[in-house]
Chains A and B, each alone.
Chain A
Amino acid sequence: DAKTTQPNSMESNEEEPVHLPCNHSTISGTDYIHWYRQLPSQGPEYVIHGLTSNVNNRMASLAIAEDRKSSTLILHRATLRDAAVYYCILRGNTPLVFGKGTRLSVIA
């Protein structure tokens, strides 16, 4: 499985945008970039995914570099409810391989 590199932790103030980076220099042409998050004491939750173009949904935006070797998950206005571990995962139709993710703290 192609590997991803994410910062261990990040901090954000409430109602400010958050940019969560992910490096994946060994990504293959068929790998989709998936983001999941896990809130405390809950199962993981799908956030967004993309292949080549930037993607937006009601939860977040995904900005993918032109060479696809990195991507950024953007939360437009962080709320306390967004405090979670965010996982960046490369895959096609294979099971999810979770790394350590980025623990996001949101400060009121």
Chain B
Amino acid sequence: DTGVSQDPRHKITKRGQNVTFRCDPISEHNRLYWYRQTLGQGPEFLTYFQNEAQLEKSRLLSDRFSAERPKGSFSTLEIQRTEQGDSAMYLCASSLLVHATDTQYFGPGTRLTVL
């Protein structure tokens, strides 16, 4: 299967710890997006990359959050000093932008629980 993969699928951590998630996009896709989803809500945009350049960060993304896509392939999302409010599903999506719009393909998500 060559879809978007995310690792880990589940993460339980204690408040104050740092966590890092990984996303492997579909090969050849030049865009990679991170979203966050809490229970009962639609996904919220966090940040996205075109190749290795981070093009936009949401105001939701506090300075405790950082994302990288070092070689324009996989991406990592790190949360420092986790808080209980960070508990959510973190979704990654990738796309190939060749025209005025793109189709995003989502991974299964990483569910974070902060105790």
Contact = CB atoms under 8 A, between A and B. Distances in A.
Interface of A: 30, 32, 34, 36, 38, 42-46, 49, 85, 87, 91-93, 95-101
Summarize A's interface: helix, strand, loop or mixed: loop
A57 to B, nearest CB: 11
B8 to A, nearest CB: 15
Interface residues of B, number: 22
Summarize B's interface: helix, strand, loop or mixed: loop
Q: Which among A44, A85, A91 has the highest number of chain B CB atoms within 10 Å?
A: A44
Contacts of A49: 101, 103
B100 A95 contact: no
A75 B82 CA distance: 42
B7 to A, nearest CB: 14
B107 interface: yes
